[in-house]
Amino acid sequence: MRPAARLASVIEILEQVEDENLIIHHLLIRYFKQRRYAGSKDRRQIRERTYRIVRNRFKLEWWLQEVIGERYTSRLLVLSDLAFFEFCSQSELDEIFNGAANNPEQLSQKEKEIYQALVGKDIRHVKMPMNVKFECPDWIFAKLEPVFGSELEKCMIGLGEEASLDLRVNALKEITREQVQIRLEKFDIKAEKTKYAPFGLRIHSRRRIDQIKPFRDGFLEIQDEGSQIISMLVDAKPGMHIADFCSGAGGKTLALGSFMANKGRILALDTSLTRLDKAASRIKRAGLHNVERRLIGGEADPKLKRLAKKFDRVLVDAPCSGIGTWRRDPDMRQRLEEKKLEAIVQVQQRILIAAARLVRPGGRLIYATCSLIPDENEKQIENLLHKINDYSLVSVKEIWSKLDPKIKKWDGVVNGKMMRLTPHQHGTDGFFISILERLH
């Protein structure tokens, strides 16, 4: 593909996102499947430009609407991206926007004037609101400000950066992290050890992992270090009975199973058959035999009554706003609305109360989200403790310190007995973790 054709593809992709309200990641997969002629270089450059625009969209829209006085379009977003990041000359622009087959249509006089008004400017204008500067809806910015205070700017910068690719070495396999690193080097993949998770590896370049032999043989799984930390804090041991209440595609289920050495029982519960089916192939590849997948109709499913007080550990990785994953899904910040958050909070409350009933006396309930908003985190725990009087908070820091003497001692931010992970402090996605113990 010629450079101009790649640019036309970006415009088309952004238009489809607007029209169909799709997640960028999913749309790109579909887009390239339908265009097998696009080579690896074409795909990489189209993807990189698309994500750059998405990561800077609040600022690009602000320039167009507040300074230029034009409503944004996909075409103007791409033109603005060129002005701020590539500084093309007018002759270069005319060559790109020439209207030829597969190329963008010629620029109008108005578009040329918009480009000239933007080219060479600093994308962060002195009059730009703080939430726009950091690519965050104003209502979310207001909720995060009291949480992070003077650290908010660093937090927002961290959420705006591109995430690394984190892997977890399967503890069931007789292989060390060092041995996996050597195997990855044979595929020209350089991986470093994660700071906290003892089975974690980190790759800073964008690589396909799912086609290489170490992955196909079950030695590796893709899992953010923060998610690995949550799995460890469940403190799963061989022989235990554990419920993964919102198991999804099974990322944490796999980690728990490996820690249990295939002894005991894991019940993976989810409301989506598609997600449970996806987990099945991952469970098989990992060599797990102690996982049972079960479809439920929701937190009020009658089947859950038969599971009351049956489990040593119940993990609730609750559906949430996903703010902590903005590094990986930057377009989420444009899609989240305040009324949607209110609905999510109500669902979380119902899930948490339903999951709490499954824990046996002396067992633990582990609640986690990939959000940084107190409404979904601390306030949910406060609400549960107010409604159910036979639970008490357990210090996450204390649990961490007892896991394994070889594990790096935790130096992260602890909110009382609860824990918060952030990209700028820990190099992970944003997560919240709380552990409660059932008294009777």
Residues with catalytic roles: 370
Non-local (6+) Cβ contacts of 342 within 8 A are: none
Distance CA 167, CA 199 (A): 8
CA-closest candidate to residue 7, choices 123, 100, 132: 100
Q: How far apart are CA 298 and CA 142, in angstroms?
A: 32
Structure tokens at 210: 């799912």
How many angstroms separate the Cα of 319 from the Cα of each of 199, 229, 255, 355, 366?
Answer: 25, 18, 19, 13, 14
Where is 204: in which H helix or E strand?
none
For residue 427, give both structure tokens: 């190099």
Decide if 247 contacts 276 (C-beta within 8 A): yes
111, 197, 247 from 280: Cα distances, Å: 52, 25, 12
Question: Angle, nearest 10°, between helix axes 74-85 and 109-118?
Answer: 40
With tokens 């902590």, the residue in question is: 324
Residue 37, Ramachandran bin (φ over 0: left; ψ between -120 and 50: alpha; else beta): alpha
DSSP class of 429: -
Residue 302 buriedness (CB in 10 A; 0-12 / 13-18 / 19+)? exposed
3-state secondary structure of 260: coil
| Residues whose CB falls within 8 Å of the CB of residue 81, separated by 6 or more in sequence, listed in order | 49, 52, 53, 56, 60
Task: Give exposure, 185-215, as e/b (b: 16+ Cβ within 10 Å).
Answer: eeeebebeebebbbbbbbbeeeeebeebebb
Question: One-letter amino acid identity for 251?
Answer: G
Q: Which amino acid would we find at residue 312?
A: D
Q: Are 80 and 121 in contact (CB under 8 A)?
A: no
Q: How many Cβ atoms are within 10 Å of 120's Cβ, its own excluded?
A: 8
Is residue 321 within 8 Å of 333, Cβ to Cβ? no
